[in-house]
């Protein structure tokens, strides 16, 4: 029987492989690929929501207090949110190893 997809090493995957189970994207913790992470400074945030709008991984979410942060299980550290944040409320910080 085949192993679940998340138990394969990258070099064991077929080129152009298709994930069989539709709708299982949430099981893949793509944040593991990240080398830097966004850090929010709420004192600079104007709650415009552009970080949420531009995040290509839908990793940014609005907290109960109206400020934003990211779900690090899925944030890949691309830095787009920090680039689009005009007040400079987001800094990209290198991950510790």
Shortest distance, position 46 Cβ to ligand SF4, whole Å: 5
Note whether 78 binds ligand SF4 by CB under 6 A.
Answer: yes
For residues 2 and 8, give the distance between their C-alpha atoms in angstroms, rounded to a whole number: 10
Task: Count CB neighbours of 93 within 10 A.
Answer: 12
- Is 47 within 8 Å of 67 (Cβ atoms)? yes
Of 1-9, 11-19, 21-29, 79-87, the window that binds ligand SF4 (rule: CB under 6 A) is: 79-87
Residue ranges in 41-60 that form contacts with ligand SF4 under rule CB under 6 A? 45-51, 55, 57, 59-60
Shortest Å distance, C-beta 25 to ligand SF4: 14
Which H/E stretch holds residue 90?
Answer: strand 90-94
Cβ at position 58, least distance to ligand SF4 in Å: 8
User: Which stretches of 4-96 are DSSP H helices?
Assistant: 50-54, 80-84
Q: Which stretch binds ligand SF4 (CB under 6 A): 7-15, 18-26, 77-85?
A: 77-85
């Amino acid at each position: 029987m085949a192993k679940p997809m998340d138990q394969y090493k990258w070099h064991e995957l077929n080129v152009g492989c298709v994930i069989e189970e539709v709708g299982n994207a949430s099981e893949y913790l793509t944040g593991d690929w990240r080398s830097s992470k966004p850090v929010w400074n709420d004192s600079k945030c104007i709650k415009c929501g552009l970080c949420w709008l531009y995040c290509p991984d839908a990793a940014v979410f609005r907290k109960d207090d109206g400020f934003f942060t990211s779900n690090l299980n899925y944030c890949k550290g691309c830095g787009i949110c920090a680039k689009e944040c005009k007040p400079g409320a987001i800094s990209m910080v290198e991950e510790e190893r």
